[in-house]
Amino acid sequence: MKSSEIINLLPYQKPFLFVDEITDISENGVTGSYKFNENEFFYEGHFEDNPITPGVILTETMAQIGVVCLGIFLLKNEISSDKKPQIALTSNNIDFFLPVFPNEKITVISTKEYFRFHKLKCSVKMMNSKNELVCRGTISGMIIAK
């Protein structure tokens, strides 16, 4: 399954799609990136005269790239035009270290911890363009083709 096919199967649209590209994907993990453009809807008012990307958006970006994209890849033999992926976040535990500012590009690196009974748990980290650790943790979700 090609990266573009995976991105097209994501159940998100702008302005809530936080995946620009997938640079590496296998049975064991995924690496992808996203650039937070300065006109994103969540920068207005967060924070006045010093906008930063909210932690919930960083978590969502890690979930979309690190869990959902990987889950679609793992279910590639079950997904079709009739059976689309359905996703539900089940848990997350994220530690934040650095802010992400408008026009900053990040990279998400995710490693599968396990995938059984349609539950996918991944160890994820986000790096900025200087290769500094922005945040890291674990994210779990349920993914099925239905």
**Going along 28-71, which residue ranges are E strands?**
29-36
Choose, from 17, 21, 46, 92, the residue flagged as catalytic.
46
DSSP H helices in 2-92? 3-9, 55-63, 70-74
Residue type, 47: F
Which residues, at least 6 apart from 49, have a Cβ–Cβ distance to it below 8 Å? Answer: none
- The candidate with the shortest Cα–Cα distance to 69, out of 116, 124, 14, 117, is 124
Place of tokens 């090609």: 2
What type of residue sits at position 114? Y
Q: Are 30 and 70 in contact (CB under 8 A)?
A: yes
Is 118 assigned a catalytic role? no
What positions carry a catalytic annotation?
Answer: 46
